[in-house]
Chain A
Amino acid sequence: MFEGILTGIETALTLQNLGWVVVGCFAGTIIGMIPGLGPISAIALMIPVSYSLDPAGGLIMMAGVYYGAVFGGSTSAILVNAPGVASTVATSFDGYPMARAGKAGKALAIAAYSSFAGGTLSALVLLIFASSIAFVALEIQSTEYAALLLLAMSSVVVFAKAGERLPSAITLLLGLIIGTVGTDQLGGVQRFTFSRLDLADGIHFVLLAMATFALAEAFRLVLLGRPQATQAVGFRDLIVTKSETKRLSKVVARSSILGFLIGVLPGAGATLASFFAYDLEKRIGDGTREAGVAAPEAANNAACTGSFVPLLSLGIPGSGTTAILLGVMLAYGLQPGPLLITEQPAVFWGVITSMYIGNFVLLALNLPLIPLLARLINVPHGMLIPLVIGFSMIGVFLTTFSVFDLGLMIGIALAATLLRWHGFPLAPLLLGYILSGLFEENLRRTWLLSAGQFDYILNRPVAVVILLACVFIWITPLLTKRQR
């Protein structure tokens, strides 16, 4: 293995490949900032460029694009509450309030450092345990997924603020309901489409995210006219104090491990990782906004690295992004899987090593840009709100090219503004929507596999443990209340 790592370092540190990492990270960051153009679009757009490179160079550049796009998405989530990528939704929960309170520079800096730390830690884990982790991840199947998703949804409701449990449950269910619109993946049946072709593929994530976060926030600002925080961002804001470092390093460490492990699971990915990490931090951490930014950022970057485990070691893409990367690898004539390590060691270890280098490049590229980006918040509301609206419209139109979807977005945004105005949290709605399809698919597969027999679940110890954890988190608040 050490020989492989040395081969990887040798491959990744060539001047040419270093240059491609820089190009990939920069292009990914810029494309990722545009709502509607997330990592999948960024990688797809860079495919023609990658074909002109050798396999190692091309894949190294693509890995850089992937990281860059995820980080770019965090920037728009923090600054204008427009998370164009599902994995950056959790970052906006505390990142945007920090920006509104005049701490945009600090929030962006924490996001950059946490992404770096998360990506680096997970790259080291990947370097050491790549092949063995992949086979363990394969043991997690539909039943365990369904249980894991149930746990995620339960924790969102149970650990909501006092008095917000019922509204959280309602918005979570609304999200789950919105997720049922479109063609049922397993049954092939059209549901709630009203015979409209625009709804056959369901309601797009970018549409819902823009409507419930960016547009609804813009409407709320117009309606309530809140005072605007002014930012004086300099390079000093990029410095994290000793006490902050001490506090956040624990957050980053646990979020990175959690993010990496979730990222390894095929289908789970960075979104689930960032929500879980945020949730975990709110429960066991100090509850500060800084930790609320650091946790999802470390987790989503670690999950990105984790998603390469099943791709490189087994040839199984765990997400849409890695599926496109698989296509790129196949186009190069590479067959990802256990044989890749022995047949193409330079490519395998080169990509893994470049992830560490890519994270460093991403940090070096983005830190100097932060003071510049943070000044965006200083734009007067009279200008900023129309820009956010325009940004959302372009994002959704670029994703679906549908005028109907723009109308739908305005309608959903209006409903979301009313809900938010009356104290309904909107984050569970987006989480419900994201998990809806996955939950139904896995639950239905479990049903088919078990033939309706409950014994089937009892024979799967991991699923039983997760379900017990689920029961435990529902019971604990009731018992605590009774004791009081």
Chain B
Amino acid sequence: MLYRLIIACMTVFALGYLALTAQIVLDPWSETEAFTSRTMPYIYGTLLTACLLALLFRSFAVAKPASADKQGLSSLALLLMALVGFVVLLPLVGLWLGLSVLLGTSILVLGERRWWAITAVSLTVPLIGWMAIEWGLGITIPL
């Protein structure tokens, strides 16, 4: 069921891509040309739609994917929340502090409970990163 839903979503994506291709604003002098900035997107979008429709009709015969347990799904959901939190936090606290929080929470989400291990990794890695990149290579990070 999910497989067919994925293909259906991709078909909608392909059709949307074709619709957006039609809206690409061309330069006045290239509008009359046969090969424009729209040509390749039209070809790719059409081919993708055709391939997806072909797969949609074949999808009943596809082997079932490996099953994911409830714990895996909830861990992934929490991990995604930690990642979204990192993206939100980044402009506010900067890369290295944000990274430290991200590492700490994701280690916690994945089942580690030894506080010293969590602290050591979430502090050491950003520190090494800062030393190697900003101090060692002299790259200035804007955030």
Contact yes or no, A223 B36, CB < 8 A: no
| Interface residue A219 (Cβ < 8 Å from any Cβ of B) | yes
For B122, give the chain A residue with the smallest CB separation. A386
For A165, give the chain B residue with the smallest CB separation. B51
Q: How far is the CA of A74 from the CA of B66 in the complex (A)?
A: 29
| CB under 8 Å from chain A, chain B span 25-62 | 25-27, 30, 34-37, 39-41, 44-45, 47-48, 51-52, 54-55, 58, 62
Tell me whether A383 and B107 are in contact in the complex, defined as CB-CB below 8 angstroms, given that A192-B20, A222-B79 are known contacts. yes
| Interface residue A176 (Cβ < 8 Å from any Cβ of B) | yes
The digit string for A185-200, where 1 denotes a CB below 8 A from any CB of B, is: 0111111100000000
Question: Which of the residues A225, A410, A440, A444 comes within 8 Å of B84, measured between beta carbons?
Answer: A410
Contact yes or no, B51 A177, CB < 8 A: no
B111–chain A nearest beta-carbon distance, Å: 5
A193–chain B nearest beta-carbon distance, Å: 10
The digit string for A378-420, where 1 denotes a CB below 8 A from any CB of B, is: 0001110111011001100110010100110010001000110
Q: How far is the CA of A386 from the CA of B37 in the complex (A)?
A: 41
| Interface residue A112 (Cβ < 8 Å from any Cβ of B) | no
Contact yes or no, B35 A390, CB < 8 A: no
| Interface residue B93 (Cβ < 8 Å from any Cβ of A) | no
Q: How far is the CA of A376 from the CA of B137 in the complex (A)?
A: 24
Interface residues on A, range: 35 or more
Query: In the complex, what residues of B have CB within 8 A of residue A188's CB?
Result: 27
Contact yes or no, B83 A390, CB < 8 A: no
Q: How far is the CA of A260 from the CA of B106 in the complex (A)?
A: 43
| Interface residue A421 (Cβ < 8 Å from any Cβ of B) | yes
| CB under 8 Å from chain B, chain A span 161-189 | 166-167, 169-170, 173-174, 176-177, 180, 184, 186-189
Tell me whether A382 and B112 are in contact in the complex, defined as CB-CB below 8 angstroms, given that A191-B24, A224-B66, A403-B91 are known contacts. yes
Query: In the complex, what residues of B have CB within 8 A of residue A222's CB?
Result: 72, 75-76, 79, 110
Query: In the complex, what residues of B have CB within 8 A of residue A447's CB?
Result: 34-35
The digit string for A206-219, where 1 denotes a CB below 8 A from any CB of B, is: 00000000000001
> How many A-B pairs with Cβ below 8 Å?
153
Query: In the complex, what residues of B have CB within 8 A of residue A5's CB?
Result: none
| Interface residue A45 (Cβ < 8 Å from any Cβ of B) | yes
Contact yes or no, A170 B55, CB < 8 A: yes
B28–chain A nearest beta-carbon distance, Å: 12
Query: In the complex, what residues of A have CB within 8 A of residue B95's CB?
Result: 394, 397
A446–chain B nearest beta-carbon distance, Å: 9
B90–chain A nearest beta-carbon distance, Å: 5
For A451, give the chain B residue with the smallest CB separation. B34
Tell me whether A223 and B68 are in contact in the complex, defined as CB-CB below 8 angstroms, given that A382-B111, A389-B102, A414-B80 are known contacts. yes
| Interface residue A452 (Cβ < 8 Å from any Cβ of B) | yes
A208–chain B nearest beta-carbon distance, Å: 16
Q: How far is the CA of A407 from the CA of B44 in the complex (A)?
A: 25
Query: In the complex, what residues of A have CB within 8 A of residue B107's CB?
Result: 382-383, 386
Contact yes or no, B37 A184, CB < 8 A: yes
Tell me whether A223 and B76 are in contact in the complex, defined as CB-CB below 8 angstroms, given that A170-B10, A401-B141 are known contacts. yes
Contact yes or no, A393 B102, CB < 8 A: yes
| Interface residue A443 (Cβ < 8 Å from any Cβ of B) | yes
Instruction: Write 13 A-B pairs (CB below 8 A) sorted by A numbering.
Output: A34-B133, A166-B55, A167-B55, A170-B55, A173-B47, A192-B20, A222-B72, A225-B71, A386-B121, A394-B95, A397-B90, A398-B133, A401-B143
Q: 12 additional contacts, CB 8 Å, given A166-B58, A403-B90?
A: A45-B137, A176-B40, A191-B41, A223-B76, A383-B121, A386-B102, A386-B121, A387-B103, A414-B80, A421-B68, A422-B6, A452-B34
Q: Residues of A with Cβ closer than 8 Å to B?
A: 31, 34, 45, 166-167, 169-170, 173-174, 176-177, 180, 184, 186-192, 219, 222-225, 381-383, 385-387, 389-390, 393-394, 397-398, 401, 403, 406-407, 410, 414, 418-419, 421-423, 439-440, 443-444, 447-448, 452
